């Protein structure tokens, strides 16, 4: 079920939104540091990315680093008409990609939604096999979340959660996925406190 | 109907607060990603981007990985 953040402050909405992604990632990799941009002066859009490294390294059950995950998100806050005044977050763009451990990076797949690019406003994936003409194909998919990217990595590359989170990773991934889905069209999404 | 996020998640991992990147940090970030995904410097990417060199391939993997970071430097550009 999409999960809509409705906080009493703009900062609170952003914090809850970002924490859901951070907690999901933290179940798979330690010491990942994120930064956000300042809000754009006109659109108020902010971007989120990792700054501790360009990607998050995911490991298998033996501790071997098998895949890298890259994440870029753009979002903005939207005020819900009140009273009471509440704020929610709208995701405006996302890019996740998985890379193999080769140097230079061996990109495998990208999940894209960038509705600011004319003609390609729908969510899609790129299969990134080096040199393949399929790299430029935009294979239409339903909206994807970071949970989709990580569960693909778990299924197909034996990626596992960190030992401390092997009982909770599923809940954390689900929360991140539901938060993103709830943020895709927040102004059009009815909500009610439970 | 959707659920409102409840702040009762159990056993949440420790995380660091997300900080707001400085303009200098944003430029360094853009430079690093441009070199990683396109093999050029951040300054060169910005020159090409502003010249419209990427207009026909804005959707391309690699290009989007760098374009997505432009908000990290745009407020600085607009203030200049």
Q: Does residue B60 form part of some domain?
A: yes
Q: Give tens-digit pLDDT for B43-59.
A: 999 999 999 999 988 88
Asked if B3's CB is within 8 angstroms of A74's CB, the reply is no
Q: Does residue B65 form part of some domain?
A: yes
Across the A:B interface, residue pairs with CB atoms under 8 Å apart total: 147
Q: Does residue B17 form part of some domain?
A: no
CA angle B64–A6–A20, rounded 5-degree value: 50
Q: Does residue B8 form part of some domain?
A: no
The dihedral region occupied by A44, where left means phi > 0, alpha psi between -120 and 50, and beta the remainder, is left
- A60 exposed, middle or buried (CB, 10 Å; 0-12, 13-18, 19+)? middle
Q: What is the pTM of this model?
A: 0.86
Q: Please report the ipTM that was assigned to this predicted complex.
A: 0.81
Query: Which residue range(s) make up the domain with B64?
Result: 38-79
Q: Does residue B9 form part of some domain?
A: no
Q: Give tens-digit pLDDT for A25-39.
A: 999 999 999 999 999
Q: Give tens-digit pLDDT for A70-123.
A: 999 999 999 988 788 899 999 999 999 999 887 666 788 999 999 988 888 899
At residue B39 the predicted structure's pLDDT band, cuts being 50, 70 and 90, is: very high
Asked if A37's CB is within 8 angstroms of B26's CB, the reply is yes
> How many domains, chain B?
1
Query: Hey, where are the domains in chain A?
Result: 10-183
Mark A61-91 as b/e (b = at least 16 C-beta within 10 Å): eeeeebbbbbbbbbbbbbebeeeeebbbbbb
Q: Give tens-digit pLDDT for A122-179.
A: 999 988 766 666 667 788 888 999 999 999 999 999 999 999 999 999 999 999 999 9
Nearest to B2 among A164, A168, A182 (CB): A182
Predicted local confidence at residue B49, as pLDDT: 95
Closest chain A CA to residue B54: A117
Q: Which of B80, B78, B69 is nearest to B25 (CA)?
A: B69
Asked if residue A192 has pLDDT above 80, the reply is no
Q: Which of B21, B69, B32, B76 is nearest to A36 (CA)?
A: B21
Torsion of CA B46, A38, A150, A120, to 10 degrees: -50
Q: Which of A23, A83, A13, A8 is nearest to A44 (CA)?
A: A13
Q: Does residue B75 form part of some domain?
A: yes
CA distance B8 to chain A (A): 11
CB A92 within 8 A of CB A113: no
Distance between start and end Cα atoms, chain B: 45
Which residues of chain B have a Cβ shorter than 8 Å from any chain A Cβ?
A: 1-7, 9-16, 18-21, 25-26, 29, 32-33, 36-37, 58-62, 64-65, 67-72, 74-75, 78
């Amino acid at each position: 079920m999409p999960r809509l953040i409705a906080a009493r402050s703009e900062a609170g909405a952003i914090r809850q939104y970002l924490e859901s992604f951070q907690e999901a990632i933290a179940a798979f990799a330690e010491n990942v540091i994120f930064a956000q941009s300042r809000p754009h002066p006109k659109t108020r859009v902010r971007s989120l990315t990792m700054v501790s490294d360009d990607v998050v390294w995911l490991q298998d059950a033996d501790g071997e680093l098998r895949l890298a995950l890259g994440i870029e998100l753009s979002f903005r806050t939207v005020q819900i008409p009140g009273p009471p005044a509440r704020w929610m977050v709208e995701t405006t763009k996302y890019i996740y990609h998985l890379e193999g451990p080769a140097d230079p990076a061996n990109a495998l797949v990208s999940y894209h939604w960038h509705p600011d690019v004319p003609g390609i406003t729908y969510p899609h994936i790129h299969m990134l096999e080096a040199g393949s003409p399929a790299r430029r194909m935009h294979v239409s998919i339903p909206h994807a979340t970071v949970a989709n990217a990580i569960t693909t990595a778990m299924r197909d590359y034996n990626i596992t959660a960190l030992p401390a989170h092997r009982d909770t990773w599923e809940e954390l991934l689900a929360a991140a996925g539901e938060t993103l889905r709830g943020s895709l069209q927040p102004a059009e999404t009815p909500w009610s406190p439970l | 109907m959707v659920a409102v996020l409840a702040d009762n998640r159990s056993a949440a991992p420790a995380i660091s607060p997300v900080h707001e990147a400085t303009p200098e940090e944003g430029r360094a970030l853009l430079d690093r990603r441009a070199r990683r995904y396109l093999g050029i410097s951040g300054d060169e990417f910005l020159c090409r981007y502003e010249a419209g060199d990427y207009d026909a391939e804005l959707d391309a993997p690699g290009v989007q990985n760098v374009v997505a970071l432009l908000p990290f430097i745009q407020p600085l550009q607009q203030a200049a």
